[in-house]
A = this chain, B = another copy of it.
Amino acid sequence: MYLNETTIEKNTVFEGRIVTVRSDKARLDDGTVVGRELVIHPGGVSVVPLTDEGEVIMVRQFRYAFMCPLLEIPAGKLEPGEDPEKAVLRELSEETGAACRELISLGVCYPSVAYLTEKIHLYLARGLDFGTAHPDEGEFLDVERIPLEKAVDMVLNGEIPDAKTQIALLKTWHLVTEKAAR
């Protein structure tokens, strides 16, 4: 049986630009007191930009946490209180230069529930209009077009390890193939 937990002590141990870290104490319903590490993140948005030709616009950028470039769908951090739809349109435009006529929610994912508060809002963008990409200063990336079916194969065979990209591509595949079957 799971037990509810109540915070009895909050200790902020690091406040950074991206994450805040706490080392709390919590009381379980049975009275036990336990330590709880918490990484607090404002959350993010991520989008599968799907062209009329069935290609996904993806970005490749260096990821310091893995010391190598990774292939991902466009994404960004939410500003505190920011509307996710507004944020995702901004990131789509900044990273790929595209606007879209249709934005479909693919739900939310919680990347690492044991200690991380981050929630990522996922979207599918269709009806793309291309302008010119204008990445954030200090954001360097390559833009690549990959057919959806190939991108899904890359998820299934392990070539795309990023979790948000895996989820958003697999959900897009369900959506597109379900519609095709009707």
Contact = CB atoms under 8 A, between A and B. Distances in A.
A2 B140 contact: yes
B109 A34 contact: no
Interface in A43-85: 44, 60-67, 69-70, 72, 75, 77
Contact of A62 (B2, B62, B162): B2
Interface in A80-116: 107-116
Interface residues of A, number: 69
Contacts of A167: 163, 166-167, 170
Given A65-B114, A158-B108, A163-B112, A14 B17 contact: no
A26 B62 CA distance: 12
Given A2-B60, A14-B21, 7 more contacts: A18-B115, A44-B114, A63-B114, A70-B113, A120-B163, A163-B163, A167-B170
Interface string A129-159: 0000000001011100000000000011110
Contact of A65 (B13, B32, B38, B120): B38
B162 A113 contact: yes
A38 B64 contact: yes
A161 B109 contact: yes
